[in-house]
Amino acid sequence: MKEKLKNIIAKGIIALDESSNTMNRRLEAHDIELNLENRNLWRKIILTIPNLENYISGVILYDETLKFLYEEGIISSLIKKGVSIGIKVDKGIYEYENKKRITLGLDDLDSRMQEYHSLGCKFAKWRAVFSLDDIDDSNIELNIYHLAIYSIICLKYGVIPMVEPETLVLDGDHDINDSFEIMKGILQKLVQIFDLMNIPFENIILKINYVLPSKTRLNNYSNEDIITSTIMLFEETLPDTLSNIAFLSGGLDPETATNLYRLIKQKDSSYNFTYSYGRAVQEEGLSIWRNAKENRVIQNTIQNRLKKLLN
């Protein structure tokens, strides 16, 4: 497990795990026709970047894309080059009473995990979503239990769980201290429940957002302020054995997300930091796809972003 986990987070992880509906919205925003062919083609363009293995160590996929790329022979090619394959296994967010959110997908997860493992997946991701505006203790606990059960099923098949308790910190109107306190409560509950269920912290990847103020107040804080708060959060909540941490971009523009990651990697800490960015890696390439005369132009754009994240 230790060696497998080390390989996954060695460089960086591209998140190409948007659901069909989410990917359709991204395509629509750039006036690109919405269909399965274009969704799969977009992922194929990225994953056939020459020497991609020099810049990333992992990729997270969505069910339809994983199976398409498997049939195309791209999955086996990536594995041979040392890129670890991950899969998003949750089935999205369900809103219930008073806009509380819960993540679905536990019902058939065991059988799906068995299949994904057979297709070469080394890790899996499950996302829970929390809002600062209507935070609720019982809802936090429910989501964390789902994350714990998912993790147990992953580990049963030797698959590394990527546990993602995302707090939508950029929404609303609040300062960085508000985000810090909410995220602290969520992580404390995660540690408590995972410990109760005997889930080994050293065998998971925590995927999480930086501690940020709302977008309306982002200019009030320096990157140094954000990174200081983020590391302080980990030091106050995480056990020593939970040291493998991947950052999500969560609506940040590519340059800001890159600068924050590069800054936190420079810090002297006991954590194994990596990134697991989706939009922050894809957006620049996606914005030129419709008018690009050849795919290599798009690939060069994304490759340049990956180089900046690596150095």
Dump pLDDT digits (tens) for 29-72: 888 888 999 999 999 999 999 999 999 999 999 999 999 999 99
pTM of the model: 0.95
> Active site includes 18?
no
> Active site includes 283?
no
Residue 278 has pLDDT above 90, yes or no: yes
Domain ranges of the chain: 2-310
Q: Residues 88, 122, 207, 283: which is the catalytic one?
A: 207
Instruction: Tell me which residue of 53, 74, 60, 61 sits closest to 11, measured CA to CA.
Output: 53
Q: Residues 125, 164, 189, 283: which is the catalytic one?
A: 164
Q: Are strands 58-61 and 84-88 parallel, antiparallel or unpaired?
A: parallel
What is residue 214's predicted lDDT score, i.e. its pLDDT? 94
Q: Which CATH superfamily is domain 2-310 in?
A: Aldolase class I (3.20.20.70)
Q: What is the pLDDT of residues 240-263, one digit of tens each?
A: 999 999 999 989 999 999 999 999
Spacing of C-alpha 298 from chain mean position: 22
